[in-house]
Chain A
Amino acid sequence: MTRKRAIIMTLMFAACGAAATYYFVRSNHVVPVPVVPEIPAIWTDPPIVEIAGLKRRAVLANDRSGNAWGEYGLVFDAHDRFEEATVCYRAAMQLAPQDARWPYFLAQRYSDDNSELCIELYEKSSQCELATPFVHLAIQLTLADYLMQHERKKESYEIYRRAFEMDRANPWAALRWGQTAAEQGNDELAIRTLSSLKNSPYARKRAATAVAMLHRRAGRGKEADQFEFISNSFPDDQPFVNPLLLEMGSLQRGWSVMMNTLTLLETQRNYPAALQTARRMVDLYPSAKNQMILGRAYVNVSDYESAIPELEDAVRGDPKLMMAHAFLGIAWFHRADGISKMERTKLSDEYLQKSIVHLERAIEMKADYAPGYYYLARAMLRQNRPNDALRAIQNCIQSRPEEWEGYVIWGEALAMSGNKNEAIRVTEQAVSLANPNDPRPKLALEKIKAWK
């Protein structure tokens, strides 16, 4: 072999060796993972411990899975343990760098304290490939909102424009694009875009307010008044649907989550669903308070017969539960009402008396409890005690002067005690306070006027 050939061969072997070494090192470069966070000792709520345990076991079974780390982080995040959540998200990001979720959730951890890092993470999230179009849109809009909050308007406007182009039906994108158009002085476009949200429960109130402002800015006072009226007639807009936050929400567990769900259902007047939730709560967390909540749920679906034993158990367990006494009073009242329609007066009197005892106990514990006074007055009227009823109903009205129902009872008590003129005046007040489309106060007024 000539010297020249030997040098070439040596160089070739050296190059191959270097390449092999490079690929060997690269393929074996292990992303270090942190120690798997423990489930906090203060977590004693069984459903929370259960979901945390499930997700922790998934990480222990495969500590190279970004998804496992990320979901464990979501459990911590959903239950306000942010330090542990951050550890998990960081690991998830390193192990699954193309998953848009983990930089997004990590960004949220820095949104208050480190805006630069927060923006960097949102941008990183928005560039990840593993995201559905809906998720991608939510990330873009979150980033744009954050940039907007930090007065980086030009950047956020551009994102809003792109987001709206991507999905014109998305209320979040539409509202923001409409607001952007308004800021840029393009009133016609703004009004057109915002008007498309008139049926969206997520943005109609804000859209109507924005349209009103645009009309007012243009000197169209009448139109502005119209849209302000429309806006005022809507309830508050619901939060925008964010699939990422929904995913976190699906991992929330525990008594407080069930309570929040129950409260939401009651607010929405979805009483049958609230009853189901209350039943589950009592099964999972037996307590006098939860029995009271179940009793209340039965009252709200008018199942007074089922309500009473639950509420009686609740007051036996904790005699200081004001609401248990109050709802027991209401339940007994309605049971008496149901019976007296069948003219079994002795039994209905007994039930009325039980109602009064519990209602008086409730208002003893909470002196401004208007519903307690309201039902007490009604019970006393049933017992032909108009003067006592007057005292009770006046307390009700003191607490809740804006509620028309109290004035109707006040009118009845006045009529029963022989003061018909005053009864009419007071019931007219009920009519003026109530929704004009509600026939009940008007019927009550007619009844008072016909009183003999």
Chain B
Amino acid sequence: MTTSWFFVALLATAFCCGIGCESKPASTPPTAVREELFIESTDEFGIHFSLDPGDTNDYFVPKVMGSGLAIFDADGDGRQDLLFLQNSGPTSNSKNKLYRQTADGKFEDVSAGSGLDFAGHNMGVAVGDIDNDGLPDLVITQYAGVKVFSNRGHFRFSDVTATCGVSNPHWGTSVSFVDYDLDGRLDLFIANYVDFDRGHTCENSTQGGREFCGPSSFTGVPSKLFRNLGKKINGVKFEDVSISSNIGKSLSPGLGVYCADLTGDGWPDIFVANDAKPNFLWVNQKNGMFVEDALSRGIAYNSMGQVAANMGVAVGDINRDGLLDLFVTHLTTESNTLWAQEPIGYFKDRTIPSKAATTKWRGTGFGTLMSDFDCDGNIDIALVNGRVARSASSDASLPKFWQNYSERNQILQNNGGSFTDTSSDNPAFCGFGNVGRGLAIGDLNGDGFPDLVTTAIGGPARVFLNSAKSANHWLVVRALTPSGAPAIGAEVRLKMETGNQLRVIQPSESYLSSSQPDAFFGLGGVADFLEIRVHWPDGTSTIAPAGKGNRIVTIRQSSPKTQP
């Protein structure tokens, strides 16, 4: 009896011990909590703009491609203003909107009388000083057209298209200024999309019914390059050099554009993201001509030799090796591609090792940007998503027509060359569905941390203020030409004890949009920098000495090598 009681007791002890052990929770490491980087502040700023696609029953493809926006200082008061483009057609009541930022940080609608408040199938916008008078001028691409506006000051813009020599009969998309011949005058590159035929109809293969046609249904068309001839009697004149430069001899469905020196020879090149076709890299031959060299430089296809739907372009130095890398957005069924520049002028698909494709969800990406959102010294990636063909899932928060096109945006944070998808930690920017298209970056509240502004089809434009509460330091470098305009093409290199960083003054990237043309730097925990070196497009350099961060440093080129 004693033996059996002992045995039972032993068993019972073991049993209870087991339960006790199981009921005690296993210790788990605390989950890292990431701070939310953005908060939506659209209403507080007084922005009321909705990208109106108009009547969509005819599935007119320009409408699903959306429109862009621009963040720029229109009146030179040091505060960023906003321009939003509309795409509902020339007879629509929905027009572009221009907002002026007032001294109290709010935005005031100054569209009426600005010259920019017109309806149309307006697609992309580029901002640049075409006449070197210190005021930013504008170029707006359209479906079958283009408009050039000269800034007269006080939020008045004159349409100088008819007299300036710029014309484009094709469907223009992203547009960028670039001084390709380094003569001190901004030249103009327009990416054109496809030879669209309204009579061509397409079907949705999974959901049935009519659908917007994709680019494969049409042939591409040539892009355009215009050389700035300077001020003449009737204003600035441009010369169409598309053919003589070779750029106009190739047909391609161009969407995203980035113009900067991508080959390390000091001359700006032109990268074009071609939709469902190999990308182009127009390499500047320094004699007015370009050679398309994307294939041999590794940036035409992904690592498997496959072409993807290439839409938006984000550019930055993700691994701080002093070379620009490119991130291009694709369809939901594809993964976005990250090309690292290694060695100079050549690119490798580093999507998988960088974890840029290891995301919690996927989307059809359009606008995308690289910037250091938390100012930790590593540039991050933001992208807006929105489908081009209906899916089974529906988002009741959108107008009925667009409910099946809805997708959530994404943020990828850089951990020093590899990325973590922190979209779930950023519900303000990523937690809702939209048909996202334009994305631009700028410091709207002057705190040195970059903010984001988006456009979405059938939905409101949104402003996302940077809310990163980190103790990290920041620096904004404003590189200006002698006339006081942003020095497009200038390379800004920041030297710190913790390493160097590179930015390029090129507001035209992302998708159809233009950002604040300043260099945003995150300094991390270090408050000081050792040197700022600005390499101007004409080959000269200016060096600013060591200093403290948390301010805007303005560096103006003293004397240009070339004539204005």
- Chain A residues packing against B (C-beta within 8 Å): 42-44, 79-81, 112, 145, 148-151, 205-206, 209, 212-213, 228, 231, 236-237, 255-256, 263, 289, 292, 318, 320-324, 365-368, 395, 398-402, 433
**Complex-state Cα separation, A271 to B144, whole angstroms:** 30
Taking a contact as CB atoms under 8 Å apart, the answer to whether A112 and B198 are in contact is: no
Q: Tell me the residues in window 195-245 of chain B with beta carbons closer than 8 Å to chain A beta carbons.
A: 195, 197-203, 205-209, 216-217, 221-222, 240, 242-243
Taking a contact as CB atoms under 8 Å apart, the answer to whether A112 and B296 are in contact is: no
Taking a contact as CB atoms under 8 Å apart, the answer to whether B203 and A228 are in contact is: no
Taking a contact as CB atoms under 8 Å apart, the answer to whether A79 and B352 are in contact is: no
Known contacts A112-B333, A206-B305, A401-B243; A150/B352 CB under 8 A: yes
Taking a contact as CB atoms under 8 Å apart, the answer to whether B222 and A322 are in contact is: no
In-complex Cβ contact of B199 among A149, A206, A255, A292 (8 A):
A292
The reply on B249 being an interface residue by CB < 8 A is: yes
In-complex Cβ contact of A399 among B170, B200, B295, B303 (8 A):
B170
**Complex-state Cα separation, A402 to B208, whole angstroms:** 39
Taking a contact as CB atoms under 8 Å apart, the answer to whether A433 and B352 are in contact is: no
Taking a contact as CB atoms under 8 Å apart, the answer to whether A322 and B197 are in contact is: yes
The reply on B304 being an interface residue by CB < 8 A is: yes
The reply on B248 being an interface residue by CB < 8 A is: yes
7 nearest A-B residue pairs (beta carbon): A42-B208, A368-B169, A321-B199, A402-B249, A80-B206, A399-B169, A80-B205
Main secondary structure of the interface of B (DSSP, over half): loop
A-B contact count (CB 8 A): 82
Closest residue of A by beta carbon distance from B205 = A80
Chain A contacts for B144, CB-based, 8 A? 367-368
Taking a contact as CB atoms under 8 Å apart, the answer to whether B243 and A402 are in contact is: yes
The reply on B167 being an interface residue by CB < 8 A is: yes
In-complex Cβ contact of A231 among B209, B296, B303 (8 A):
B296
| Interface range, B side | 35 or more
The reply on B431 being an interface residue by CB < 8 A is: no
**Complex-state Cα separation, A179 to B200, whole angstroms:** 41
Taking a contact as CB atoms under 8 Å apart, the answer to whether B352 and A149 are in contact is: yes
- Chain B residues packing against A (C-beta within 8 Å): 144, 167, 169-170, 195, 197-203, 205-209, 216-217, 221-222, 240, 242-243, 248-250, 278, 295-296, 303-305, 333, 335, 352-353, 362
Chain B contacts for A150, CB-based, 8 A? 352
Chain A contacts for B296, CB-based, 8 A? 209, 212-213, 228, 231
**Complex-state Cα separation, A324 to B353, whole angstroms:** 51
Chain A contacts for B217, CB-based, 8 A? 263
Closest residue of A by beta carbon distance from B145 = A367
Shortest Cβ distance from B213 into chain A, in angstroms? 11
In-complex Cβ contact of A149 among B167, B170, B216, B304 (8 A):
B304
Chain B contacts for A433, CB-based, 8 A? 243, 249
**Complex-state Cα separation, A398 to B170, whole angstroms:** 9
In-complex Cβ contact of A398 among B167, B198, B352, B362 (8 A):
B167
Closest residue of A by beta carbon distance from B277 = A236
Closest residue of A by beta carbon distance from B302 = A149
**Complex-state Cα separation, A148 to B167, whole angstroms:** 46
Closest residue of B by beta carbon distance from A318 = B199
Taking a contact as CB atoms under 8 Å apart, the answer to whether B198 and A148 are in contact is: no
**Complex-state Cα separation, A402 to B241, whole angstroms:** 11
**Complex-state Cα separation, A127 to B385, whole angstroms:** 40
28 A-B pairs with CB atoms under 8 Å apart are A42-B207, A43-B208, A44-B208, A80-B206, A112-B333, A148-B303, A149-B304, A151-B352, A151-B353, A209-B295, A213-B296, A228-B296, A237-B305, A263-B216, A292-B199, A320-B199, A321-B199, A322-B199, A323-B197, A323-B200, A368-B170, A368-B195, A395-B169, A398-B167, A399-B169, A402-B243, A402-B248, A402-B249
Taking a contact as CB atoms under 8 Å apart, the answer to whether A289 and B199 are in contact is: yes
- Other A-B pairs, 7, CB within 8 Å; known A206-B305, A263-B217, A401-B242: A149-B304, A151-B352, A209-B296, A289-B199, A395-B169, A401-B222, A401-B248
Known contacts A145-B304, A149-B352, A398-B169; A366/B197 CB under 8 A: yes
Closest residue of A by beta carbon distance from B167 = A398
Q: Which of A44, A81, A206, A399 has the most CB of B within 10 A?
A: A399
**Complex-state Cα separation, A318 to B200, whole angstroms:** 12
Chain B contacts for A292, CB-based, 8 A? 199
Chain A contacts for B208, CB-based, 8 A? 42-44
Shortest Cβ distance from A354 into chain B, in angstroms? 20
Known contacts A150-B352, A367-B144; A401/B199 CB under 8 A: no
Shortest Cβ distance from B393 into chain A, in angstroms? 13
**Complex-state Cα separation, A398 to B199, whole angstroms:** 23
Shortest Cβ distance from B15 into chain A, in angstroms? 33
Closest residue of B by beta carbon distance from A325 = B199
Taking a contact as CB atoms under 8 Å apart, the answer to whether B197 and A289 are in contact is: no
**Complex-state Cα separation, A401 to B167, whole angstroms:** 12
Chain B contacts for A395, CB-based, 8 A? 169
Chain A contacts for B352, CB-based, 8 A? 149-151
Closest residue of B by beta carbon distance from A203 = B305
Chain B contacts for A324, CB-based, 8 A? 199
Chain B contacts for A81, CB-based, 8 A? 206
Chain B contacts for A368, CB-based, 8 A? 144, 169-170, 195
**Complex-state Cα separation, A206 to B278, whole angstroms:** 13
Chain B contacts for A43, CB-based, 8 A? 208
Taking a contact as CB atoms under 8 Å apart, the answer to whether A149 and B243 are in contact is: no
Chain A contacts for B295, CB-based, 8 A? 205, 209, 231
Shortest Cβ distance from A391 into chain B, in angstroms? 14
Known contacts A151-B352, A292-B199; A79/B205 CB under 8 A: yes
Taking a contact as CB atoms under 8 Å apart, the answer to whether A366 and B198 are in contact is: yes
Shortest Cβ distance from B296 into chain A, in angstroms? 5
Shortest Cβ distance from B357 into chain A, in angstroms? 9
Chain A contacts for B303, CB-based, 8 A? 148-149
**Complex-state Cα separation, A320 to B58, whole angstroms:** 12
Shortest Cβ distance from B423 into chain A, in angstroms? 16
Shortest Cβ distance from A355 into chain B, in angstroms? 19
Shortest Cβ distance from B305 into chain A, in angstroms? 6
Taking a contact as CB atoms under 8 Å apart, the answer to whether B198 and A322 are in contact is: yes
Taking a contact as CB atoms under 8 Å apart, the answer to whether A236 and B170 are in contact is: no
Closest residue of A by beta carbon distance from B298 = A213
**Complex-state Cα separation, A380 to B344, whole angstroms:** 54
Shortest Cβ distance from A154 into chain B, in angstroms? 15
Closest residue of B by beta carbon distance from A216 = B296
**Complex-state Cα separation, A237 to B307, whole angstroms:** 11
Shortest Cβ distance from A227 into chain B, in angstroms? 9
**Complex-state Cα separation, A141 to B233, whole angstroms:** 65
Chain B contacts for A322, CB-based, 8 A? 197-199
Closest residue of A by beta carbon distance from B305 = A206
**Complex-state Cα separation, A205 to B296, whole angstroms:** 10
Closest residue of B by beta carbon distance from A240 = B305
Chain A contacts for B201, CB-based, 8 A? 289
**Complex-state Cα separation, A206 to B298, whole angstroms:** 11
Chain A contacts for B197, CB-based, 8 A? 322-323, 366
Shortest Cβ distance from A234 into chain B, in angstroms? 10
Shortest Cβ distance from A313 into chain B, in angstroms? 15
Chain A contacts for B209, CB-based, 8 A? 42
Shortest Cβ distance from B207 into chain A, in angstroms? 6
**Complex-state Cα separation, A226 to B376, whole angstroms:** 46
Taking a contact as CB atoms under 8 Å apart, the answer to whether B198 and A365 are in contact is: yes
**Complex-state Cα separation, A112 to B278, whole angstroms:** 21
